[in-house]
Amino acid sequence: MTDSTFPAIVENQAGFTEVSEVLDWLTAEVARFKEQLASTGAVLFRGFPVSSPEDFDAFSAAFGYGDFTYKESLSNAVRINFTPRVFTANEAPPEVEIFLHHEMAQTPLSPEKLFFCCLSAAEEGGATPLCRSDWLYAAFRERHPEWARQFAELGLKYKIQMPAQADADSGQGRSWCSTLSVETVDEAEQRLRTLGYSWRWEEDGSLITTTPAMPAVKQLPDGSESFYNQVLAAHLGWKPVGEDKEEPLTFGDDSAIPGEALVELDRLSKDFVLPLDWQEGDVALVDNHRVMHGRYPFTGSRKRSVVVCLARDV
Q: Average per-residue pLDDT in the chain?
A: 94
In 3D space, the residue among 133, 139, 140 whose CA is nearest the CA of residue 100 turns out to be: 133
Question: How far apart are alpha carbons 42 and 7 in whole angstroms?
Answer: 5
Q: Flag whether 2 is in a domain.
A: no
Q: Is residue 69 part of a domain?
A: yes
Is the confidence at residue 12, as pLDDT, over 80? Answer: yes
Verify that 167 and 245 share a domain, yes or no.
yes
100 burial type by CB count under 10 A (0-12 exposed, 13-18 middle, 19+ buried) = buried
Q: How many domains does one find in the chain?
A: 2
73 against 98, higher pLDDT: 98
pTM: 0.93
Q: Are residues 241 and 157 in the same domain?
A: yes
| 100 within a domain of the structure (yes/no) | yes
When pLDDT is averaged across residues 69-76 and rounded to a whole number, the result is 80
Mean pLDDT of 223-247: 95
Predicted pLDDT at 69:
82
What CATH number is associated with residue 38?
Answer: 3.60.130.10
Mean pLDDT, rounded, for 205-214: 96
Confidence of residue 4 (pLDDT cuts 50, 70, 90): low
Question: Residue range 232-241: average pLDDT?
Answer: 94
Residue 117 DSSP symbol: E
Residue 2 has pLDDT above 50, yes or no: no
What average pLDDT does range 38-64 have in this prediction?
Answer: 97
Q: Which long-range contacts (CB under 8 A, 24 or more apart) does 235-244 make?
A: 235/99, 235/262, 235/265, 235/266, 236/99, 236/266, 237/97, 237/98, 237/99, 237/171, 238/172, 241/159, 241/160, 241/161, 241/208, 242/161, 242/202, 242/208, 243/202
Q: Give residue 1's pLDDT.
A: 43
Q: Both 294 and 245 in a single domain?
A: no
Domain match, 77 and 161 both: no
Are 149 and 245 contained in the same domain?
Answer: yes
Least-confidence region, from 46-55, 71-80, 223-232, 272-281 = 71-80
- For residues 160 and 239, the answer to whether their CB atoms sit within 8 Å is no
Same domain, 98 and 32: yes
Asked whether residue 68 is assigned to any structural domain, the reply reads yes
Query: Domain for residue 3, yes or no?
Result: no
Domain shared by 154 and 242, yes or no: yes
How many distinct helices (H) and strands (E) make up the chain?
8, 19
Residue range of the domain that includes 222: 134-268
pLDDT (0 to 100) of residue 246: 94
The whole-number average pLDDT for the span 79-102 is 90
Same domain, 157 and 118: no
Do 97 and 194 have their domain in common?
no
What average pLDDT score do residues 71-81 get?
Answer: 80
Query: Could you report the per-residue pLDDT of 165-193, keeping only the tens digit for each?
Result: 987 766 678 899 989 999 999 999 999 99
Strand 207-210 with 156-162, pairing: antiparallel
Tens of pLDDT, residues 117-132: 999 999 999 999 999 9
Q: Is pLDDT of 255 > 90?
A: yes
**pLDDT score of 102:** 98
User: What is the percent of the chain with per-residue pLDDT over 90, rounded to a whole number?
Assistant: 86
217 plus 252 within the same structural domain: yes
Same domain, 124 and 205: no
- Residue 1 belongs to some domain of the structure: no
DSSP track, 98-112:
EEEE-TTTTSS---S
